[in-house]
Structure 1
Amino acid sequence: MFLLFALLAVLLIIGVPVGVALGLASFAYVIVAGLPDVVVLHSMVGGVDSFPLLAVPFFILAGHLMNTGGITERLFAFARALIGWMPGGLGHVNVGASVLFAGMSGAAVADAGGLGNVEIKAMRKAGYDVDFAVGVTAASSTIGPIIPPSLPMIVYGVMASASIGQLFMAGMVPGMLMAVSLMIMVAWCSWRRGYPRDDGFSLRHAAVSFRHAFLPLMTPALIVGGITTGAFTPTEAAVAAVAWTLFLGIVVYRSLTWRHLLRVMFDTLQTTGAILLIIASAAIFAWILVSNQIAAHLSGSILSISDSPAFVMLAILLIVLVLGLFLETVAAITILVPVLLPVATSVGIDPVHLGVVIVLALMIGLLTPPVGLVLYVLAAVSGVSFDRCVRATAPFLIPLVAVLLLVAFVPQLSLALPMAVGK
């Protein structure tokens, strides 16, 4: 096992992509342990052989289509008309737009790359410090994978054999708590720094913006409403989201050309390929951990100290937060779930609640070095150095960590809605 972890650490340090590093480290272990080579192929194929995972490329495609088809600008304009009048208005708009976009994409990187470009330019033009603009954009982008639909929730649901529909519902309240906590931080920073607000609220302007954004706003209603009512599965909801977005971009707004579509398809294939490689490689890694009874050893170690659900949850949080510093979200979920789920369920922690907590904790990892994928995206979008992005985002980790602890130790915040809908 030392060889496995040591080789993985070396590969990550020298900059080998996560999916490749996981695969190489696992393959080396299989060879050294004298296991048959077929184990590698069997585990990789088994890791991606899941119908719900088909939703991943479709939600990625929907996000790319929205960014390319001008839908993100309409969402930003509506959020600006609705809450831009508040002190530090564009900071609040930044958070509000991320909430709206979260109901369509489900990926933090898509939010940061698509909306981030629009938001940072608007905030710079209005006189906001670029550090503040980058910080609030990075933090608000993490709402995307919490509010449904959510790509990490889909991966967790597959790994944990949990209901993806219930996971989607469980993310609603925590996602809104994240938004409220970030808006409180924005209000405090704006008051201290004297940031401006947009012109006063205009009902007419809000109505016009809503009319322009109405059809895009129907996307989350289509996805969540369809899953909740049982009209279609999460995978079918992803297909419906793509069809609806194509209809808007090609027929309604006529903003998507064949050149745009080809570029979007290529980007989707590239992103999907990277994610599936990570899942397949992490499946081998997870199989090795399970076959060596790492879950049993970890469970015994934790429970030997205390079998209190609160203590176990705290231990899980620490493990996830530390691993989230070094691994991409999908890889971390694929590795962690087989190890942590038995520990959690042994003390009565609900798998759906655990899923929300793990995804929320891993979102913080997107904002912290050395991996910090969202920070790298925003560094490219804003032209600000990576180190400066890290410092700009640091204050916004405070409300996110506070929400994480609240959700982790008050299970009703994530479980109440799926229980109510399920009745």
Structure 2
Amino acid sequence: MVIAALFISLLLLIILGVPVAFALIASSLIAILVDGQLPELVVLHRMVAGVNSFPLLSIPFFVFAGALMNASGITQRIFDFANSLVGWLRGGLGHVNVGASVLFAGMSGAAVADAGGLGAIEVKAMRDKGYDAGFAVGITAASSTIGPIIPPSLPIIIYGVMASASIGQLFAAGLIPGLLMALGLMAMIAWYARKRNYPKDAGFSVSKTLVTFKSAFLSLLTPVIIIGGILFGIFTATEAAVAASAYALVLSAVVYKTLTFKQLIAISIETIETTSIILLIIAGAAIFSWVLTTQQITELFTQWMLGFTENKTALLLLMALILFIVGCFMETIAAITILTPILLPIAISLGIDPVHFGIIMVLNLMIGLLTPPVGMVLYVLSRVTKVPFETCTKATLPFLIPLVFVLILVTFIPELTLWLPSILYKS
């Protein structure tokens, strides 16, 4: 009865358009009232406990750093440098799109930030060069999903907190899969360029590369500070986020002098709003997860899955299907906070490393960002590029092929995610 009340109320609230955070809190409270044996005050206690986590302090600082990068012209410098590196290839601006996303991934850690910041620049540049609007939007949407895989990554931080896994190891685990995503997308671009006879956008020039590298050099140090500092034990993920924010602030306000006081206020307000939404979702998911635990739903679900089949491959495919479907309908952070306590015990029972499973989960949910009806990245790109949502959706579908291929590789070849952490974090 309690289980039915929990899930039916959650589903109804989401269908009615209630924000996910409030839907999680309300459904949990309904389940507690139906149970009748738990005090309602536990809702507040569990919500506070859910956000009382040191690694979560990194979220507002990474959000702030990403917003600074977008507002102060740093993204344009990154785009220009990527253009000088790979713009000479056939279908060059498509490759530039992917390269810029890889570089920006080391700064923002969020697909929506990539789409909203770099996206407008990339799509405009491609359309000005005569590329089809659908192709421009499609590759921009797909490449934005690289951001949350290559460190730093907000979804990975949240998974690490929920799974009690090492965020440093999770960051290291995302590097190779993120680069594989980039290579897969560039292979698709090369195929499109040959099929549609796209031209080379510019010749390769050493002098131009050096000039753009000099212009972007200080910006490119941001991921070096973040990733290098974490991987080599100089500071924690939270301390890295603070360092990134401070560096981005100095860079934009003192060095480049492109940040105005008015922009700083707007960025700060945006950071507060984004962080509040994320933490409220986490708080709601904390009480929801606690209800799942007290009702032994996670144990029952694990037993059901293992009773359904004990074949590891079949269970991995089934979990991937669950993640993909949920990703189509639910925001990434909410999906991670709800599904981690349900699916992680199954993964562990199959002998899957929690770090490996974290990358599988996040990559699955990133693909969900490119599919309706939620498709947050598609909505953002539609808004900033003025391209109809339906066109964005249709244009993105072909680029799901290399992303799904990489997901299969990552799922069934654990060494792709675990090799680098095993080298960097030897016990």
TM-score range, shorter chain: over 0.9
Shift in Å at residue 317 of structure 1? 1.0
User: What is the letter of the counterpart of residue 61 of structure 2?
Assistant: F
Task: Tell me which residue corresponds to 2:138.
Answer: 135
Does the 8 A contact of 1:164 with 1:234 survive in 2? Answer: yes
- Please list, as runs of the form range in 1=range in 2, the aligned pairs for 1:187-336 lying within 5 A after superposition: 187-336=190-339
Deviations 1:321-380 (A, max 9, x none): 111111111111111111111111112100000000000000011111111111110110
Q: Sequence identity of aligned pairs in percent? A: 60
Q: What displacement does 1:284 show? A: 1.4
Partner letter of residue 28 of structure 1? I
CA distance in 2, matches of 1:5, 1:303: 22
Amino acid at match of 1:6: I
For the 8 Å contact 1:309–1:349, the answer to whether it is kept is: no
Q: What is the Cα deviation at residue 277 of structure 1?
A: 0.8
**Rounded Cα–Cα distance in structure 2 between residues aligned with 1:39 and 1:324:** 29
Q: 1:352 aligns with which of 321, 346, 355?
A: 355
Alignment of 1:150-169 (within 5 A): 150-169=153-172
TM-score (norm 2): 0.97
Contact in 1 for aligned 2:112/2:144 (Cα 8 Å): yes
Residue aligning to 2:19: 17
1-structure distance, mates of 2:292, 2:327: 18
Deviations 1:24-77 (A, max 9, x none): 222222222223111211111111110000001100000000000110000000
Report the counterpart of residue 58 of structure 1 in structure 2: 61
Distance 2:30 2:133 in 1: 45
SS state of the match for residue 39, structure 2?
Answer: coil
1:305 Cα deviation from its structure 2 partner: 3.4
Which range is displaced more, 237-246 or 293-302? 293-302
Give the distance between the partners of 1:393 and 1:273, measured in 2 at CA: 30
Name which of 158, 178, 182 aligns with 1:179.
182
Greater shift in the superposed pair: 312-321 or 243-252: 312-321
Name the residue aligned to 2:111: 108
The answer to whether the Cα contact below 8 Å between 2:5 and 2:34 also exists between their aligned partners in 1 is no
Q: Deviations over 1:247-278 (max 9, x none)?
A: 11011100001001000000001111111111
- 1:26 matched to 2:52: no
**For 1:385 and 1:31, how far apart are their aligned partners in 2?**
44
Write the letter of the residue equivalent to 1:31.
Answer: L
For the Cα contact (< 8 Å) 1:138–1:367, is it kept in 2? yes
SS of residue in 2 equivalent to 1:178:
helix
Amino acid at match of 1:315: L
1:187-235 CA deviation, whole Å, 9 max, x = no partner?
1112111222212100000010000010010011101111112111000
Query: How far apart, CA to CA, are the structure 1 residues paired with 2:292 and 2:7?
Result: 11
For the 8 Å contact 1:52–1:154, the answer to whether it is kept is yes
More divergent stretch after superposition (56-65 vs 11-20)? 11-20
Structure 1 residue 414 corresponds to structure 2 residue 417 = yes
CA distance in 1, matches of 2:70, 2:225: 19
Structure 2 CA distance, aligned partners of 1:314 and 1:290?
A: 25
The answer on whether the counterparts of 1:308 and 1:347 sit within 8 Å (CA) in structure 2 is no
CA shift for structure 1 position 3: 2.4
Distance 1:114 1:319 in 2: 30
Q: Measure the CA separation in 1 of the matches of 2:4 and 2:391.
A: 35
**Paired position in structure 2 for 1:396:** 399
Partner Cα distance (2:76, 2:112) in 1: 17
Q: CA deviation at 1:298?
A: 1.6
Give ranges in structure 2 of 5+ residues lacking alignment.
none
Pair 1:89-2:113 in alignment: no
Quote how far apart the aligned CAs of 1:246 are: 0.6
CA RMSD of aligned residues (A): 1.1
Q: Give the Å deviation of 1:13.
A: 2.0
CA distance in 2: counterparts of 1:309 and 1:217, whole angstroms: 41
Secondary structure of the corresponding residue to residue 329 of structure 2:
coil
Comparing 338-347 and 266-275, the one that deviates more: 338-347
CA distance in 1, matches of 2:10, 2:139: 33
Cα distance in 2, alignment partners of residues 51 and 150 from structure 1: 16
Q: Give the C-alpha shift of residue 412 in structure 1.
A: 0.2
Kindly state the Cα deviation for residue 318 of structure 1 after the two structures are TM-superposed: 1.5
- Distance (whole Å) between structure 2 residues aligned to residue 275 and residue 70 of structure 1: 26
For the residue of structure 2 that corresponds to 1:341, the secondary structure is: helix
Q: AA paired with 2:28?
A: S
SS of residue in 2 equivalent to 1:103: helix
Instruction: Give the secondary structure class of the aligned counterpart of 2:202.
Output: coil
Could you tell me how far 1:10 is from its partner in structure 2? Answer: 2.1
Separation (CA, whole Å) in 2 of partners of 1:197 and 1:31: 65
CA distance in 2, matches of 1:147, 1:416: 15
Which residue of 68, 71, 75 maps to 1:68?
71
Task: List gaps (5 residues or longer) in structure 1.
Answer: none
